[in-house]
Amino acid sequence: MAWSPFLLLSLVSLAFSTPLNRRWDDFVEKHSWGAVIPKGWQFHSSPSPDTLIDLRLGLKSARIDELFHHLGQTSDPDHERYGNHLSKEQVEELVAPHTDTVSMVEEWLAHHGYQGSAASPAGDWVTIRLPVKDAERMLSAEYGLYHHPSSKDTVLRTLSYSLPRALLGHVDTVSPTTYFGTFKSMRATSFLMPEVDLDPDAVPPATCDRRITPDCLKTLYDAANYTQQASSRNSLGVAGYLDEFANRADLQTFLRQFVPARTGTNFTTVRVNGGGDDQSIPGVEANLDIQYTVGISAPIPNTYYSTGGSPPFNPDSNTPTNTNEPYLDWLNFILSQSSIPLVFTTSYGDDEQTVPPDYATKVCDLFAQLGARGSSILFSSGDDGVGAGDCTTNDGQNRVQFQPEFPSSCPFVTAVGGTTRTNPEVAVDFSGGSFSNLFARPDYQTAAVTTFLNQLGTTNNGLFKYVFRYIRQTFLTLFISISKTGRAYPDIAAQGTNFQVIVGGKVTSVGGTSASSPTAAAIIALLNDVRLAAGKSSLGFLNPFIYKNGAAFNDITSGNNPGCGTNGFDAGVGWDPVTGMGTPNFAKLRLVV
């Protein structure tokens, strides 16, 4: 791959020697919000023209369709290649840009006096540091500083950007441009709940309707009597952001109180992009995640990834500021590692309609790369049912429409909804679930979702009919309307209320699908243990396995997920957009892995 500093002089010479061969001022709009600032944001001020920005180019991968083909085969339990995951090098070979793409982008950068540096091991992401005034000229854009009052975040973004026509089909996305999402502005998928007084002598399962502990979850999901056999070859990762730090002292208090046999078990913290590890500031979200992944999966090694990238805003600064976007730093870091955890859990999400399609698709492809390498990627499905607030569209028409969440809507992640109560489990009313307006329904869920839609009939008609499929073409990006054929989520569910978490040495009750995702991830880690002990590979990308083994999940048949002024969807027999295929039954699942 190129992106070498030694190429700069030759590329600059090339640019000056062929000024008429390429029209770098013939622009085609890549994405625009029009004149409407995304909801929740306000224009703050214009940046200094000399403010530096780290511009990232997501280049078109030459053989990305081959990656999807491999992933489809290696994740299909009925295929002879099931479990034969790709190596890091094989994935990088498939997602690397074509040499023509590299040459074209280098020529464009050199024309403006710049060179790029590889920001990903495959070279499909390139970074350029440059003043805002040059970024505006190169992208036919106008950057501004925008403020998000509720999160107090201020970012450098533009309402629209364009690319030279010659680059269409070579550059998939540019960031930061029109995606206003940050982890600070995203809705949290966990929240504090009222404390519950219980009989101190009561034990699971009698206590579990009102207070969830690891013993409750292992009993409920039939994993209480399993003993790990291949822990040294297994691994589980928790993605953390927003200066949320998992506290080691709190973990020991948690284990002593709730999992005494695992007292002394710890986790590893890996810092990404300036992420911290301040043990004096325990995070509710971080502690929830690590206490339940460790509490259920130990002694399987757990790693907490503390990802930074949200520097304090300083309008007078001449250094890159607030140009980070969710997931990119973490994903490119993970993909650069030679060895990665076999399961990941993440608990953040945003309205899909606020994420530009080019950015969402490129990030979704990065999750596919992780799946192809044998990792299972789980995301909480969100805590707003079918949508929060007034649920109006941001396309200028102000239609009321269900609001799916991203990344849960990405077909290469496993979205985890929420349940409550234990005898029986029922869908919790905040469980996020709907149909994507961006990603087409993948084949692995066609049968299950079609059955649900046939039973649904005309209920909620018009609230999730504006569905689109993203079509990649060499020189043009199209959106084709397809009624009710969007990627459906969640895929599975797990408990999501009354989790007992130690924060600052004290018990706190926490709820949300942020509790559901680490719970499910820990169960998947136990299933990987079963496979590894039998000499098999990890489960990897889970969804084809889930939909072909629905009978191994506890079907949740009551409850709903209201939102947008409606009752949302109802949980019922089979898959539904509240609890997916249901909650995991480890005893059944271990027989089919």
Q: What is the CATH number of the domain that holds 575?
A: 3.40.50.200
Specify whether 335 is located in the same domain as 431. yes
Average pLDDT, the chain: 89
Tokens of 182: 């940050």
Specify whether 145 is located in the same domain as 286. no
Say how far apart CA 223 and CA 588 lie, in whole Å: 10
Number of structural domains found in the chain: 2
Domain residue limits at 346: 188-310+327-392+403-589
The CA-atom distances, in angstroms, between 125 and each of 95, 120, 300 are: 10, 5, 33
Tokens of 577: 């957009």
Say how far apart CA 202 and CA 208 lie, in whole Å: 10
Q: Which of 289, 405, 491, 529 does the annotation list as catalytic?
A: 289
Say how far apart CA 72 and CA 65 lie, in whole Å: 10
In a domain, 318, yes or no: no
Is residue 468 pLDDT above 80, yes or no? no
Region class of 86: left (phi > 0), else alpha (psi between -120 and 50), else beta: beta
In a domain, 283, yes or no: yes
Say how far apart CA 24 and CA 503 lie, in whole Å: 55
Burial of 570 (0-12, 13-18, 19+ CB in 10 A): middle
In a domain, 69, yes or no: no
In a domain, 494, yes or no: yes
Please confirm, yes or no, whether 514 is among the known catalytic residues: yes
Is residue 339 pLDDT above 50, yes or no? yes
Predicted confidence at residue 221, as pLDDT, reads 98
Model confidence at 323, pLDDT cuts 50, 70, 90, reads: low
Q: Of 214, 209, 153, 219, nearest to 186 (Cα)? A: 153
Task: Compute the average pLDDT of residues 562-591.
Answer: 97
More confident residue, 1 or 446: 446
Task: Compute the average pLDDT of residues 466-494.
Answer: 57
In a domain, 76, yes or no: no
Range name among 311-315, 450-454, 460-464, 505-509 with the lowest pLDDT average: 311-315
Range name among 7-21, 166-180, 421-435 with the lowest pLDDT average: 7-21
Specify whether 233 is located in the same domain as 295. yes
Specify whether 159 is located in the same domain as 281. no
Specify whether 146 is located in the same domain as 245. no
Specify whether 225 is located in the same domain as 374. yes
Task: Compute the average pLDDT of residues 63-87.
Answer: 98
Please confirm, yes or no, whether 383 is among the known catalytic residues: no
Model confidence at 39, pLDDT cuts 50, 70, 90, reads: confident
Specify whether 9 is located in the same domain as 54. yes
Q: pLDDT for 406-417, tens place per residue?
A: 999 999 999 999
Q: Which of 243, 285, 329, 358 does the annotation list as catalytic?
A: 285
In a domain, 297, yes or no: yes
Strand partners, 416: 380, 492
Model confidence at 12, pLDDT cuts 50, 70, 90, reads: very low
Predicted confidence at residue 399, as pLDDT, reads 86
In a domain, 316, yes or no: no
Specify whether 215 is located in the same domain as 352. yes
Please confirm, yes or no, whether 285 is among the known catalytic residues: yes
The CA-atom distances, in angstroms, between 159 and each of 31, 143, 357, 531 are: 8, 8, 14, 48
Cβ atoms of residues 221 and 361 within 8 Å = no
Q: From 125, 146, 175, give the residue that closes a domain.
A: 175
The CA-atom distances, in angstroms, between 60 and each of 95, 411, 577 are: 8, 19, 33
Per DSSP, the three-state class of 461 is coil
Q: From 175, 199, 225, give the residue that closes a domain.
A: 175
Predicted confidence at residue 4, as pLDDT, reads 38
In a domain, 70, yes or no: no
Specify whether 131 is located in the same domain as 251. no
Model confidence at 308, pLDDT cuts 50, 70, 90, reads: confident
Q: From 148, 175, 202, give the residue that closes a domain.
A: 175
Model confidence at 397, pLDDT cuts 50, 70, 90, reads: confident
Other Cβ atoms less than 10 A from the Cβ of 228: the count is 18
Model confidence at 181, pLDDT cuts 50, 70, 90, reads: confident
Give the DSSP letter string of 306-336. Answer: EE---PPP-TT--S--S---TTHHHHHHHHH
Q: Which of 185, 235, 514, 517 does the annotation list as catalytic?
A: 514
User: Which of 78-92, 145-159, 173-187 has the highest average model confidence (pLDDT)?
Assistant: 78-92
Give the angle subtended at the CA of 443 by the CAs of 439 and 447, to the nearest 5°: 115
Model confidence at 191, pLDDT cuts 50, 70, 90, reads: low
Give the DSSP letter string of 360-420. Answer: HHHHHHHHHHHHHTT-EEEEE--SSTT-STT-B-SSSS--B----EETTTSTTSEEEEEEE
Q: Of 214, 376, 213, nearest to 296 (Cα)? A: 214
Cβ atoms of residues 234 and 279 within 8 Å = no
Cβ atoms of residues 164 and 133 within 8 Å = no
Annotated binding site: which residue ranges?
555-556, 574, 576
Tokens of 301: 């090694």
Q: Of 319, 316, 315, 258, nearest to 292 (Cα)? A: 258
Model confidence at 341, pLDDT cuts 50, 70, 90, reads: very high
The CA-atom distances, in angstroms, between 324 and each of 55, 153, 329, 337, 576 are: 10, 12, 8, 21, 35
Specify whether 164 is located in the same domain as 204. no
Specify whether 237 is located in the same domain as 293. yes
Specify whether 166 is located in the same domain as 222. no
Is residue 6 pLDDT above 60, yes or no? no
Predicted confidence at residue 446, as pLDDT, reads 95
Annotated binding site for Ca(2+): which residue ranges?
555-556, 574, 576
Q: pLDDT for 105-161, tens place per residue?
A: 999 999 999 999 999 999 999 999 999 999 999 999 999 999 989 888 888 999 999
Is residue 169 pLDDT above 70, yes or no? yes
Is residue 19 pLDDT above 70, yes or no? no
